[in-house]
Amino acid sequence: MEVSFFVLASFMTLSSAQLTVNVKNKGGDLIQESIQADVAQDLIHLQFQKPDGTLISLLIDFKSEVQIFKALVLGEEERGQSQYQVMCFITKFTKSEFISSDAMSKLRQKNPGTIRNPEEDKGQEHIFMDLQIDLKESSKFSKHIYNTCMEAQDSTYIRESDIRALSKGNNYTYNSLLSATKPLTIQKMPHCHDMTNAWKPCTCQFEICLGWYPCGLKYCKGRDSVGKVVSFRCGIKTCRKCRTFDFFVKQKQLCLWDEP
């Protein structure tokens, strides 16, 4: 059980802390995740590198209830690609999906070299990104999007349903948030893996799997100094989840990984 490997050091008062976790992906490759909490800004940042060199990062902005998935994919020079390309996928964040930045900052690992196995597999989510965010207006969603995604000027995406959900707890109305985006013709485009012409637009797919992350707290019961039964945090619950993003690209050349 993960509770035997991780402790919540409630006496710690650090504003930020970093955890390094070893986990195997679906193919059996060893991945090293770095998870950092910033209590002052109420953020969590998770990052790892895939075996093919792709750099994946996730920034969770608890204040704005937004999570930013960023992928930096190395180019295939022999196929005419540039050195790398960057994509950002913005989704609504539900606070129950991840432990708080405060709890994360207090998490201490007893055996850092151990390969971790998540307790629960939350399966696969398929997300259709039907809007592109104008980075100049991205602060309407989160002040952290611009700096995180500045290299993805034409490839920062969000879906309309998330805009509708975000508008309910945002300083901006639905129409104001929508005005910071432009629609994409994703529903009418063929999938890139079905095309042979590398220079025509298509709908690309990209998968991001978080092999291990703290998705909840565990509570134990004990007695206080006067013998009263009390509940206290004593560990974490861990999960795994994959997401497949569908999004528009101007040409298949920008989606060479999405092939049969």
Q: Residue 68: exposed, middle, or buried by beta-carbon count in 10 A (0-12, 13-18, 19+)?
A: buried
Q: What is the pLDDT of residues 59-78, one digit of tens each?
A: 999 999 999 999 999 877 66
Average pLDDT over residues 88-113: 88
Contact 19, 116 (CB under 8 A): no
Q: Which amino acid is at 20?
A: T
Q: Which amino acid is at 171?
A: N
> How far apart are alpha carbons 44 and 30 in whole angstroms?
22
Note the pLDDT of residue 170: 79
Note the pLDDT of residue 4: 36
User: Which pLDDT band, with edges at 50, 70 and 90, does 10 fall under?
Assistant: very low
* β-pair type (156-158, 202-223): unpaired
Whether pLDDT at 6 is above 60 = no
Note the pLDDT of residue 210: 96
Higher-confidence position of 229 and 24 = 24
Instruction: Share the mean pLDDT of the chain.
Output: 87
pTM of the shown model: 0.88
Angle at 145 between CA 214 and CA 149, to 5 degrees: 100
Note the pLDDT of residue 7: 46
User: Which pLDDT band, with edges at 50, 70 and 90, does 112 fall under?
Assistant: confident
- Per the rule left: phi > 0, alpha: psi between -120 and 50, beta: everything else, 224 is beta
Note the pLDDT of residue 60: 98
Q: Which has the minimum average pLDDT: 13-17, 91-95, 194-198?
A: 13-17
Contact 62, 42 (CB under 8 A): yes
Residue whose entry in the numeric block shows the structure tokens 């151990």: 114
